[in-house]
Amino acid sequence: MMQNKVFSLLGLAMRGHRVVSGELQTLEAIKKGTAVLVILAEDASENTRKLFTDKCSFYEVDVVTYGTKEQLGRAIGKDERSSVGICDEGLAKAVVDKMQTEQ
């Protein structure tokens, strides 16, 4: 049930234009410093995981793995997405808090 709250927050962030999705847009946001949190799908390929964890480590951006590509895409009203970047500190903190209370 808490998972729905995480995805609801992603939808809220998308409506507020505080989300980037897809590999190219997310990488660009990481490099520009606008991404505060990157969410990777659990079923993302190993190459995608390595690419994002390396970039996030270098640019000091938090990265978490959560949900499937289908769930991430549906949460933001798009097709399947392997990566989603949140560009708002408050929303990123709320998403991380919801993920932690789920465990």
pTM given for the model = 0.92
Distance in Å from the first CA to the final CA of the chain: 12
pLDDT tens string, the chain, 103 residues long: the values are 345 889 999 999 999 999 999 899 999 999 999 999 999 999 999 999 999 999 999 999 999 999 999 999 999 999 999 999 999 999 999 999 998 887 6
85 close to 25: Cβ distance less than 8 angstroms = yes
The enclosing H or E element of 23 equals helix 23-32
Q: How many CB atoms are located within 10 Å of the residue 86 CB?
A: 29
pLDDT at 102: 77
The DSSP bridge pattern shows strands 37-40 and 62-65 to be parallel
